Amino acid sequence: MMYNADCILIEPTGARSDDDTLQLEHGDQEHPQQRCSLRQMSLSREVTVLGKLAVGAWVCRLQSPFAIQPGWRLRARLDGEGAWHTYDVRRASKALHWNLLVERVG
């Protein structure tokens, strides 16, 4: 796998609130920064995989011990770029490594 980006996985969390209600306080847990492979999908592949054209669909491949699921987020910075971008995880599957279908936010 050819790594071309720094990635930070962001896991949504929920903790019981301090008062006696049954509400959850939502938050995020950032996992340590790591290297990943982040590639933009071609327009024809977006339509084939997603069934529609999604602006900003990318594929991210990485090694991780975490059980990544749709609803997680990813912050990534491609090599040679200064800006970090946020992506929503749409699909996640694992074989030898995690294969994530992500969509850029904003």
- For the stretch 10-67, pLDDT in tens is 999 866 556 656 666 678 999 999 999 999 987 666 666 666 655 679 999 999 999 9
Record the pTM: 0.81
Question: What is the spatial distance between Cα 84 and Cα 64, in angstroms, rounded to a whole number?
Answer: 20
pLDDT at 62: 96
In the chain, the number of structural domains is 1
List the domain range (segments joined by +) for residue 16.
5-105
CB environment 43-73: b (16+ within 10 A), e (fewer): eeebeeeeeeebeebbbbbbebeeebeeebb
For residue 78, CA distances in Å to 23, 38, 52 come to: 38, 8, 25
* 21: CATH: 2.40.10.270
- Interval 76-106: pLDDT, tens: 999 999 999 999 999 999 999 999 999 999 7
